[in-house]
């Protein structure tokens, strides 16, 4: 992905989640071409390099927590590398839930819901967790076992 596209994607995510974003680029004369991204209120930093062999592609995307440093005396390396900028953005500035708590949803007709005999059942979203998972209460649900359901298995009624 080109640097301009990545910055555009970062700014679009900041606009969607309603947070300010600070993007810092290393001096172009330092030959490092490293970019740092920090979202308002986040304790994590996204960093990546922006130039390799004269091309303006981003690579080595890494998410690091504040205060987490690499230990040169052992084999501990601070942070985690991710495959693409979307994974890093989902980690630092997750998208708001598609179905907020209190939404009325219906289980879609698919294999997973068919096996669990949930197809067509109407339920109420009790909790919206990150990553598109929802705790749903429906008629006949047991109190002792409340699994999370994926947003792919639900459709909103109201």
Express each pLDDT in 30-39 by its tens digit. 667 889 999 9
Which tens digit of pLDDT belongs to each residue from 103-125? 999 999 999 999 989 999 999 99
- Distance of alpha carbon 74 from alpha carbon 99, whole angstroms: 45
Q: Would you state the pLDDT for residue 50?
A: 85
Strands 59-65 and 44-49: antiparallel
**Cα Rg, the chain, nearest whole Å:** 21
Q: How many CB atoms lie within 10 A of CB 37?
A: 26
Please write the tens of the pLDDT for every residue from 36-57: 999 998 899 999 988 777 778 8
What the block records as the tokens of 78 is 């601070």
Cβ(46)–Cβ(37) below 8 Å: yes
Distance (Å, whole) CA 42 – CA 13: 14
3-state secondary structure of 75: coil
Over 90: is that where the pLDDT of 29 sits? Answer: no
pLDDT at 147: 86
The answer, yes or no, to whether residue 7 has pLDDT greater than 70, is yes
Region 69-89 average pLDDT = 90
pTM reported for the whole predicted model: 0.76
Judge whether residue 21 has pLDDT over 80.
yes
For the residues 88-105, what does the mean pLDDT come to? 91
Cβ count near 27 (within 10 Å): 9
The Cα–Cα gap between 154 and 113 comes to 9
Question: Whose CA is closest to 126, among 96, 97, 95?
Answer: 97
**Distance (Å) of CA 157 to CA 47, 121, 136:** 40, 11, 13
- CA dist 133 and 99 (Å) reads 10
């Amino acid at each position: 992905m080109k640097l301009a596209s990545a910055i555009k994607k970062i700014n679009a995510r900041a606009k969607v989640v309603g947070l300010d974003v600070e993007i810092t680029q290393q001096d172009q004369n330092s030959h490092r071409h490293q970019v740092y991204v920090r979202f308002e209120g986040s304790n994590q930093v996204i960093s990546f390099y922006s130039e390799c062999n004269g091309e303006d592609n981003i690579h080595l995307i890494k998410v690091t927590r504040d205060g987490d440093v690499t230990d040169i005396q052992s084999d501990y390396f601070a942070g985690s590398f991710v495959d693409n900028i979307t994974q890093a953005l989902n980690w630092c500035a997750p998208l708001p839930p598609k179905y907020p708590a209190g939404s009325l949803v219906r289980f879609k007709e698919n294999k997973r819901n068919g096996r669990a005999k949930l197809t067509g059942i109407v339920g109420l979203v009790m909790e919206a967790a990150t990553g598109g998972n929802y705790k749903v209460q429906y008629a006949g649900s047991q109190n002792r076992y409340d699994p999370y359901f994926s947003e792919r298995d639900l459709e909103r009624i109201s």
